[in-house]
Amino acid sequence: MAETLDPTRRRVRPTPPGALLRGSWLAIKLGVEPRVLDARRRAGELLAVPEEHGDDHLYPMWQFAPDGTVLPAVTHVLSVARSAGVSEEELYALLGRRHMTGGGRLLDALREGRVEPVLTAINGAARR
């Protein structure tokens, strides 16, 4: 997964692993007001990255179960990342990377409920 640093915004712009849903569209799909979705994002219940051009946020589809609920490990990982000073953009880029212990991407481990490789990666990113 490629990532670049936008010098004007000083934020990582990750190349997305998988589909991203615009917040405005996701709110309709989930049957909630956009402000409710935004509040959940700000509360650390959902992972989202700012749109490169625009005011909306983009939500990775992989964080949702088929019934539309958020995977249980997502909120925990977001909390740990915030505490470690790892931004949502950095976490999103990190989750697209391969991990040594399982061979797959970190987001695959997260989807499977295996948070240890993800937490290890977050701690490593926080030390940089």
Q: What is the dihedral sign for C-alpha 94, 98, 104, 109?
A: negative
Domain map of the chain by residue range?
A: 15-127
Residues 11-51: tens digit of each pLDDT:
444 444 578 899 999 999 889 999 999 999 999 999 999 98
Residues 48-105: tens digit of each pLDDT:
999 888 888 999 999 998 888 999 899 999 999 999 999 999 999 999 888 877 678 8
Predicted structure pTM score: 0.79
Q: Which residues pair with 98 in a beta bridge?
A: 105
Contact residues for 25 (Cβ-Cβ < 8 A; gap 6+): none
